[in-house]
Structure 1
Amino acid sequence: TYTVFSIPQKDQWTLILNGDLGQWGAFNYAQDQDVLRVTVPVVNTPESWEPFTIDFEQFENHVDMVLIWDRTKVAVSISQQEQ
């Protein structure tokens, strides 16, 4: 289980999975506990979304974790490696 953080910018967001589960907010954020950082592009949507939403869109070989708020959407593709 992980804590999810984001660093939003106009054209891209950095999404972070952090291994310190006991955090409340980013007050005690410890970068040395980061498990993964990924930068994803921002997509501007025609419709406004309220409230902030995290959703998962399933495809044949992967799942996208989608974060959307107002007219801003970012998606991270998640897949499982073959063993």
Structure 2
Amino acid sequence: AVAFKKKIEKNLDTDQLRAEAAAFAENVAEQAERAAEWVAPHVVKARKDLARVAAGAQERLEPAYTEARTRVVE
């Protein structure tokens, strides 16, 4: 009877651990989803800002590149 009781307690402990682990995993997944929803617009904005800055840098460098190329050809 004692062994049977210990087995039942062990099964209950295991079941509770599984339930707690599942709840924890669900909570982590929900937090990850919220984080992804929050960060997505920031990533899009950063990508647009980077593209704008890169285009501006390219425009500023174009005259110097053209001048240097002309000097090499001459």
Q: Does TM-score exceed 0.5, indicating one fold?
A: no
Using the size of structure 1 for normalisation, the TM-score is 0.15
Structure number with higher relative contact order (C-alpha < 8 Å, ≥ 6 residues apart): 1
Higher normalized helix content (fraction of residues): 2
Q: Which has the higher strand share?
A: 1
TM-score (normalised: structure 2): 0.16
Give the greater-gyration-radius structure (CA): 2
